[in-house]
Structure 1
Amino acid sequence: MVHKTGFCSCLVSTIFLVVASVAWGQQSVGDELRSSALELRRHFGEQQFSPPVGFILRQGQQLPELVWEHPHLVSQVLDDATIPTRWFNDQFEAVQVASEPGRYYAYGEAPVPDGPPLRRAMTCCCVVKSLDLTKFAHERLTEKSLGTVEAGKNSDRQREEATALLDRWKKTEAGAVELAALLDSDRPASSLRPGQLQMENATRHVRLKRKLMGIDQTPLVKAVPKKLTGASAPTLHNGPLDQTGISEEQVQELKLKLDEWYAASQEPMAVVVAQDGVVVLSQGYGEVEGDKATVNVTVNTPMRLDSAMKPLIGLQLAMYVDQGAIQLDEPIGNFLPDFNSAKDRNLTFRAGHVHATGIHFPWELAFRRLFYFHAWNESLIAHCPREWNPGSKSRYGVVGVILSVRSLELLRGRNYWDAMERDMFSPLGIHDMLPGGTGFSAEDMARIGVVLSNRGKYGSLEVISEETHDAILPTLLTPFFPDLKTKYGIGFQDFGQYLGPGSYGHAGGCGTLLVVNPDKRLVFAMARNGAGKDFQKHRATVMTLLRKWCED
């Protein structure tokens, strides 16, 4: 028999433990919710919003307010999650009704827990009420499949593809942009390159952005190569080896090493080596998938850039520096208002290009929100955590380059890649490229290398002055940022370990690589879609061989 007093004591203890356990559990849940809310605040810029009806509008429709993609999350940190929304037609006139078919732009300044509003805009496509989109999707797929076994058949696969295409049009901005182009009967799809529609859409958003910022009447700045007054500089061209000082035996030895590299990795690639503009070696390896069939890789085959885009962006910025429109050591906040606080005084264009912004923008997020055609993503970056003061530390990334090109776009009135194609690539005879970082050839990369080896000149053109060329090369950063003891340039790394002292260039994660030895005016350009097996080992072998050329 249990003693009454002992029983009561046991009962009280049990109740205490239950109550304590419940209280602890409530506290644990509360802590978890508070922690979740804190993280949500820290990364609130990643929250997305879009039209509630999707990206397809019907003619005569009243245009709606934008809504959050995850309202249940947003409500944890915002009392009022309403997004002030403005709509514009294709002439960027403010409208409230989709009165005519065509493109419309929704712009929102979303409230946030802390900091400036989250600014974004997106393109929608308005279609006539009578258009049967399901039928239209089937027709587009039938046109695409003409000449194949499936043509004209109402197969399960065709139905699935039509449903997927319709979903893309309705649920994504990219799909709406493609639909608008399809409905534009004056423009055949065969005339378009992959990514071209998105690039052109990004340019439209830059123009809308200028309007909303009140700078649409400010004259545009167009930086293009100037005509040389003196003798022409070398261009990339075929010529006899005796003009280079490089022997046929040396070239054959290099070819052997490259053949061994491809045989070992089986990763398609193209390589161009030039000395003083004379092509010493020009070779493609392997096959890639073309529009309709597998094709052999040549030095004109567009391949991925990834971070090998940075030299192109650096050279583009240098053209604006050369013109006096931008200074390397002025704050980016002079162009992007979300970065003009006292803490951003040292967030300069140089800080952006040498990876010293102090802004935490992880690679995973960078890959999800590729910056090529996202004209508004500096608003996301404005809400990213700050890890250190700009210029006090450096860590390799892409965030500073994004802020740089978003600034330049406001000057030029075009998407940065659109501007590069018109203002830099075309005058240099560069044509084998796809918009963004998705395609650039080895031969065209070598052309950029020759511009650099000529200290900014190419043929009868001066792309940048010699003074500006020297200013963008890798240099000790201490005079600009006392805490940084490394060497870095505007889109260029110190590559002395590859082709000897003074050599510079940049590589991409895909293996695409540009290296320049300025003393010997030697250029190595390689384009790849993937690094492949033992990339570093084979690269070291080839670079060691080329370095001997420079030392001889």
Structure 2
Amino acid sequence: MSHSQRFYGCLFTLISFFIASNAQADVKDVELREHFGEQQFAPQGGFVLKQGQKLPELVWEHPQQVARVVDQTAIPTRWFNEQFEEVQTAQETGRYYVYGTAPVPAGPVLRRAMTCCCVGSDIALEELAQKWLQSSIPASKTVSPPDNVAALVRQWQHSEVGAVELAALLEADFKPDPVRRGQWQMENATRHVQLKRKLMGLDPRPLLKPTPRLLEGEPAPVLRNAPLQQAGITAAQQQKIEEKLGTWYSASSEPMAIVIARNGVIITAKGYGSVDGQPVTVDTPMKLDSAMKPLIGLQLATYLDRGFLRLDQPIGEIIPDFDTPRDRSLTFRAAHVHATGIHFPWSLAFERLFYFHTWHEALIAHCKRDWEPGSKYRYGVVGVILSVRALELLRGRNYWDAMERDLFQPLGIKNVLPGGTGFSAESLARIGVLLDNRGRYGKWEIISPETHAAILPTPLKLYLPELNMKYGIGLQDESHYLGPGSYGHGGGCGTLLVINPKQHLVFAMVRNGQGKEYKKYRTEVMALLKEWVDD
């Protein structure tokens, strides 16, 4: 081969390499633009501030990546103190809120806010960490391992969750009363809802609280202990179902708690196994996963019932990021029946749990649209996220914080953990009895029978002509479990709520995992219950 041939061969290889590299870079840039809402930013220097310091700017987690698709990477940053007054320096110790409106390649800016914690300039984080760890370990140990101290300091400095924890510990002088898991994060999320209302100019508008109504006349049935005769169930039927539940636990060894009631009368209420070293009872909080959807549907129903919202109202009328031509058909109904058309994969949903992420809609606004809202069904969580973010703006509280006050308290529900990370079988059964009573419980009317009917599984074609299916607001058709007309919802962890309205039968089960042969035993238990329905 001549020198010229070798030269041109090398040149051709080099050109091909550059073309391939550029093509690959173009593909990556297209993908980056499509998923730009997933980009993260945080305060420069971390989430712990020193008293007297000038407050820092927000910076991208991956600035070089962002610079490929955004010309100006600087993030306009605003700081607020605990009273939501805009400030430039950290004058007092305590909580500070940083808000950014980050530039994007296309679409609305990425709006996010975070909580930081300011400590005294003479305070050493290592000493605080040592103090907290010492209060959390047995008295026989006087010094925490250095690795534990360093890990706790890193958590405070480099995560908002850590900064919120640090702020709560400082407020309680590191001697807090026992708090529920998630309590501090829920309270912090409510503060962010209040900041969000201020930044959106909603402060002058009154908060909308869907207060339950006192019933006139005879109270509705409540979940209660009473003779089996009042439930129309024999002792033999009760024994048969309890034997089957015992066999189920023996086969799977997966902890669970179950409450079965008819006409509000408890037929069986038992816990199986142990969680965190404690025997499971019907008051033990366990996971909900997607069994949270009936609760979120009920919460929306209270706003519908008071005339605060309409089921076929566009969500964009509440959340500005979705007040666009492409989202005009994205109604509360379309959101709750999983017809948003928004591509929000499960991997992203699990990575960015929505419970306390007040600014989640900014991420969702940048997600790809796969089809027109209301035209196709795809099960997911994105619709309920948008629904609760809208309700938060109306109520002025984190959705779960509001649910505990407006829905759970009137029902006497307790033993729950913020965000739906823990819910007891007894509490879930109360929700079931409320639904079976068409929105009433004891002396309270949570929603009217008319609103209750509006959230039940119904053919969607009348409202969304392209959807030839039956679905409700947080409720699925569960006729295959307990016969025609039955409805409810389950979660991936195995938690399940099913109501048969004709026989007034409620089945409530909570679990942290499905365990072995879950479907087999669930089918067998439901078959036994269906015998009661058929009889």
TM surpasses 0.5 = yes
- Name 1:91's counterpart in structure 2: 83
Residue 196 in structure 1 maps to residue 183 in structure 2: yes
Residue 482 in structure 1 maps to residue 465 in structure 2: yes
Shift of 1:12: 4.1
Q: Tell me, in whole angstroms, the C-alpha distance in 1 between the residues paired with 2:443 and 2:23.
A: 67
Q: Tell me, in whole angstroms, the C-alpha distance in 2 between the residues paired with 1:231 and 1:37.
A: 65
- Aligned residue for 2:269, secondary structure, equals strand
- Aligned residue for 1:191, secondary structure, equals coil
- Name 2:130's counterpart in structure 1: 138
Q: Tell me, in whole angstroms, the C-alpha distance in 1 between the residues paired with 2:496 and 2:243.
A: 19
Residue 374 in structure 1 maps to residue 374 in structure 2: no
Residue 208 in structure 1 maps to residue 200 in structure 2: no
Q: Tell me, in whole angstroms, the C-alpha distance in 2 between the residues paired with 1:225 and 1:534.
A: 41
Q: Tell me, in whole angstroms, the C-alpha distance in 1 between the residues paired with 2:172 and 2:484.
A: 56
Counting only pairs closer than 5 Å after superposition, residues 281-430 of structure 1 correspond to structure 2 as: 281-289=268-276, 294-430=277-413
Q: Tell me, in whole angstroms, the C-alpha distance in 2 between the residues paired with 1:360 and 1:344.
A: 13
Shift of 1:17: 2.6
Q: Tell me, in whole angstroms, the C-alpha distance in 2 between the residues paired with 1:111 and 1:199.
A: 29
Instruction: Please tell me whether the aligned partners of residues 132 and 174 of structure 2 are also in contact (alpha carbons under 8 angstroms).
Output: no
Shift of 1:176: 0.4
Deviations 1:279-331 (A, max 9, x none): 00001000010xxxx10000000000110000000001100000000111000
Shift of 1:357: 0.2
Which residue, out of 112, 117, 138, partners 1:120?
112
- Name 1:159's counterpart in structure 2: 146
Letter in 1 for 2:130: H
Which residue, out of 217, 230, 251, partners 1:243?
230
Change (3 A) 1:143 1:188: closer
Residue 229 in structure 1 maps to residue 224 in structure 2: no
Residue 516 in structure 1 maps to residue 499 in structure 2: yes
- Aligned residue for 2:509, secondary structure, equals strand
Q: Tell me, in whole angstroms, the C-alpha distance in 1 between the residues paired with 2:524 and 2:444.
A: 35
Deviations 1:115-142 (A, max 9, x none): 0000000000001101111011111111
Residue 32 in structure 1 maps to residue 19 in structure 2: no
- Aligned residue for 1:90, secondary structure, equals coil
Deviations 1:234-293 (A, max 9, x none): 00000001111111111111011111110111000000000010000001000010xxxx
Is there any run of 5+ residues in structure 2 with no aligned partner, and where?
none
Letter in 2 for 1:258: L
- Aligned residue for 1:39, secondary structure, equals helix
Shift of 1:159: 1.2
Q: Tell me, in whole angstroms, the C-alpha distance in 1 between the residues paired with 2:204 and 2:267.
A: 49
Shift of 1:536: 0.8
Q: Tell me, in whole angstroms, the C-alpha distance in 2 between the residues paired with 1:464 and 1:56.
A: 45
Residue 58 in structure 1 maps to residue 45 in structure 2: no
- Name 1:525's counterpart in structure 2: 508
- Aligned residue for 2:122, secondary structure, equals coil
- Name 1:178's counterpart in structure 2: 165
Which residue, out of 222, 237, 249, partners 1:262?
249
Shift of 1:16: 3.0
Letter in 2 for 1:358: G
Residue 17 in structure 1 maps to residue 9 in structure 2: yes
Deviations 1:445-480 (A, max 9, x none): 000000000000000100100000000000011111
Bigger mean CA offset, 427-436 vs 187-196: 187-196
Residue 538 in structure 1 maps to residue 528 in structure 2: no
Letter in 2 for 1:152: T
Residue 47 in structure 1 maps to residue 30 in structure 2: no
Residue 279 in structure 1 maps to residue 277 in structure 2: no
Shift of 1:548: 1.1
Which residue, out of 485, 498, 501, partners 1:502?
485
Shift of 1:186: 6.7
Q: Tell me, in whole angstroms, the C-alpha distance in 2 between the residues paired with 1:176 and 1:153.
A: 23
Deviations 1:184-234 (A, max 9, x none): 137842331110000000000000000000001110000121100121100
Instruction: Please tell me whether the aligned partners of residues 75 and 103 of structure 2 are also in contact (alpha carbons under 8 angstroms).
Output: yes
Which residue, out of 93, 97, 102, partners 1:110?
102
- Name 2:437's counterpart in structure 1: 454
Q: Tell me, in whole angstroms, the C-alpha distance in 1 between the residues paired with 2:167 and 2:438.
A: 44
- Aligned residue for 1:107, secondary structure, equals strand
Q: Tell me, in whole angstroms, the C-alpha distance in 1 between the residues paired with 2:515 and 2:93.
A: 48
Deviations 1:136-193 (A, max 9, x none): 111111111133x4x2145xxx211111111000000010001011111378423311
Q: Tell me, in whole angstroms, the C-alpha distance in 2 between the residues paired with 1:426 and 1:160.
A: 43
- Aligned residue for 2:177, secondary structure, equals helix
Letter in 1 for 2:79: W
- Aligned residue for 1:183, secondary structure, equals helix
Letter in 1 for 2:78: R
- Name 2:59's counterpart in structure 1: 67
- Name 1:4's counterpart in structure 2: none
Between structure 1 and structure 2, the one with the greater Rg is 1
Q: Tell me, in whole angstroms, the C-alpha distance in 2 between the residues paired with 1:133 and 1:244.
A: 60
Letter in 1 for 2:530: R
Instruction: Please tell me whether the aligned partners of residues 94 and 117 of structure 2 are also in contact (alpha carbons under 8 angstroms).
Output: yes
Instruction: Please tell me whether the aligned partners of residues 130 and 143 of structure 2 are also in contact (alpha carbons under 8 angstroms).
Output: no
Change (3 A) 1:400 1:161: same
Q: Tell me, in whole angstroms, the C-alpha distance in 1 between the residues paired with 2:446 and 2:217.
A: 14
Q: Tell me, in whole angstroms, the C-alpha distance in 2 between the residues paired with 1:373 and 1:319.
A: 21
Instruction: Please tell me whether the aligned partners of residues 315 and 390 of structure 2 are also in contact (alpha carbons under 8 angstroms).
Output: yes
Q: Tell me, in whole angstroms, the C-alpha distance in 2 between the residues paired with 1:402 and 1:133.
A: 36
- Aligned residue for 1:26, secondary structure, equals helix
Shift of 1:108: 0.1
Identity %: 60
Q: Tell me, in whole angstroms, the C-alpha distance in 2 between the residues paired with 1:253 and 1:343.
A: 55
- Aligned residue for 1:420, secondary structure, equals helix
Change (3 A) 1:113 1:508: same
